[in-house]
Structure 1
Amino acid sequence: MSDPTRDGSPQYRNELLRFMPADDLALLAPHMQRCALPVRMMLVTPNIPIEAVYFIEQGIGSVVASTASGHDAEIGFIGFEGMTGSALVMGDDRAAHACFVQLEGEAIRIDAAPFNAALAASPTLRLFLLRFVNTLHTQTGCTALVNARLKLEERLARWLLMCDDRVPGESLAMTHEFLSIMLGVRRPGVTVALQLLEGRALIRSRRGEIVIRDRAGLLELANGGYGQAEAEYARLIGEIMPG
C-alpha cells in the first residue's frame, strides 16, 4: 500500500509523522509503504548503506552495539515515537550499530533515495528530524549512565517502563535470553532481577511474557533512570499520544 490513508486523510500512528510540517510530509507521502515488522527483522545493518528508513507505527526496534568478540548490548530503543536510519538525517549513508525488531509490529517504509531527495529539497525536514536524533542521543546517554551506575533491577525497571510507553496493554512478549542481550548481562542475572520485581508485585513473569502490574512502583524502583529522554522528546517534538 503506497499511501497510508483512510477515507482520503492520513491516519498516522507514528508521532514524527503526526507532528511533521504539512509541506514536508507531502514530500514523503508519495514514497510511503506500509510493511510488517516481524521479530528479528533487520532494519539497519552495520556499516552497510542504509536501504530504507522505517517510521515505526507499532512494535519496537532495538539499536544494538556489538564488540568484535561477539558481546551485544542494546543502546537505543525506538517505537512509534521515532524512526530508524537516522544516520541519513545526519548526512551519512550507513550506521555503526545494528537495529532490528524486538517486538513485532508494522511501520511506514521509505526507500533511502527518495528520503534523501526530500531532505535535500527541504531544510525544514532535516531540522525537524534532527530534533528526534537529539532525543535518541539523549536516550543513549541515559542508557550509558544507568548501565554504569544503577543496579540491574533498577535498569530492568527503566527498560520495562520504556516498553510500556510504546506497547498497548500491559503484556510484553519477552524471553529471559532476549532480556539478557538487551540489558547486557547474563541470563541468570535477568532471572534474579525478574524474581525481585515479581516479589514486589510490580510485574508478573511467565514463560515468554512479562505483565506490568504496578507502573508507579516501577518508576520508583528505576531510581531516576527514567524520564530525562522522555522529557526531551516532549520539549523538542511534542507530547507522545497513545499508539
Structure 2
Amino acid sequence: MKNLLLKQVGRADFERLEPHLKTTAFAQHSVLFETDQKIKHVYFPIGAVVSLVVTLSTGEMVEAAMVGSDGVVGASAALDGRVAVCRGIVQLDGDIIVCDIDALKSAALQSPNLLSLLIRHEQAVYAQAQQSAACFATHMVEARLCRWLLRARDLSEGDTLNFTQEYLAEMLGVRRTSVTVVAHTLQAAGLIKYARGKIQILDADGLRESACECYGTVKLHYERLLNGRRD
C-alpha cells in the first residue's frame, strides 16, 4: 500500500525527497510528537493510521483529525509552523514513510506544485478538524461512532480494527459506558462484531446509513485533494 499524497508529487520533486525518505514500522499508540514540541520529521503513513488529538489539563484526549495513506502528518511544520499544536499518536500500527523536515521544506520552496499540494492538504486537515468540532456539538454518539469506524476502515483498508472501548471513548470524547451501549446496539443490528479489543465491520453499507453526514463531507475533502480539484 502506497501513500496517495506522495503519488501526487511530481517526478523531479520526488527525486529531491527520495534520499531523505525512510520507511519505519510504528507500533500502536506510538507518540510521534507532543503538543508544543518542535517537530523534526514529517510522516507519510502507508499502513499506519495517525490521530491528531487535543489533550486537556485533566489528561483527557479528544481526536481532531485522522490521517492515513491519503495524507501527511506534520506538513505544517515544514511550512514553518515548526511547533506542534496537538499530539500525534499512532492509532493503528503499520509503516510510515518518515522525511526530514528541512528536506521537505527545501523541496517545497523549489517547487510551487509541491508547495500548493502541501497547503491544500493542510486545508483538508483543518476542514476535518472543523467538521469534528461540529460533529461533537450536534450529532449523537451512535452516528459519530459509525462515522469514526468508517474513516478508520477506509484508511486501514481492512474490516478488522484493533480498538478497545476505552480508546474509542477517548477519541470521541464520551464516557466508556456510552460507547458500550452503542457498540451493543450496532452488534445486535449485525453491523459490527466486537470482542477482546477488536471490532470487525460486517456491514459497511449499514454503517454508512447510520453515520452522520460528517463521514461523507471529510471523504469529499480528501477526494478533491487527491484529484487536484479546487472547486
Class of the TM-score when normalised by the shorter of the 2 chains: over 0.9
- The answer to whether residue 147 in structure 2 is matched with residue 158 in structure 1 is yes
* 3-state secondary structure, aligned to 2:215: coil
Which residue of 2 is the match for residue 80 of structure 1?
69
Which residue of 2 is the match for residue 122 of structure 1?
111
Higher helix share: 2
Residue segments in structure 2 that go unaligned for 5+ positions in a row:
none
- The answer to whether residue 7 in structure 2 is matched with residue 18 in structure 1 is yes
Which residue of 1 is the match for residue 51 of structure 2?
62
State the distance in 1 between where 2:34 and 2:12 align.
31
From 201, 221, 229, give the equivalent of 1:232: 221
Note the C-alpha offset of 1:89.
4.2
Letter of the aligned partner of 1:210 in structure 2?
I
On the 8 A contact 1:131/1:237 being kept in 2, the answer is no
How do residues 50-199 of structure 1 correspond to structure 2 at under 5 angstroms? Answer: 50-199=39-188
On the 8 A contact 2:79/2:105 being kept in 1, the answer is no
- 1:137-185 per-residue CA deviation (whole Å, 9 max, x = no partner) reads 1111111111111110110000011011012331111111111111111
Residue segments in structure 1 that go unaligned for 5+ positions in a row:
1-11
| Range with greater deviation from structure 2 (19-28 or 178-187) | 19-28
Letter of the aligned partner of 1:56 in structure 2?
P
Note the C-alpha offset of 1:42.
1.4
Note the C-alpha offset of 1:227.
0.8
| Range with greater deviation from structure 2 (114-123 or 168-177) | 114-123
State the distance in 2 between where 1:176 and 1:68 align.
22
- The answer to whether residue 24 in structure 2 is matched with residue 35 in structure 1 is yes
Percent pairwise identity: 33
Letter of the aligned partner of 1:171 in structure 2?
T
On the 8 A contact 2:53/2:63 being kept in 1, the answer is yes
Aligned length: 228
Letter of the aligned partner of 1:168 in structure 2?
E
State the distance in 2 between where 1:225 and 1:48 align.
30
State the distance in 2 between where 1:78 and 1:98 align.
13
State the distance in 1 between where 2:134 and 2:182 align.
19
State the distance in 2 between where 1:44 and 1:225 align.
27
State the distance in 2 between where 1:236 and 1:79 align.
14
On the 8 A contact 2:162/2:198 being kept in 1, the answer is yes
State the distance in 2 between where 1:21 and 1:103 align.
29
State the distance in 2 between where 1:87 and 1:70 align.
25
Note the C-alpha offset of 1:236.
2.5
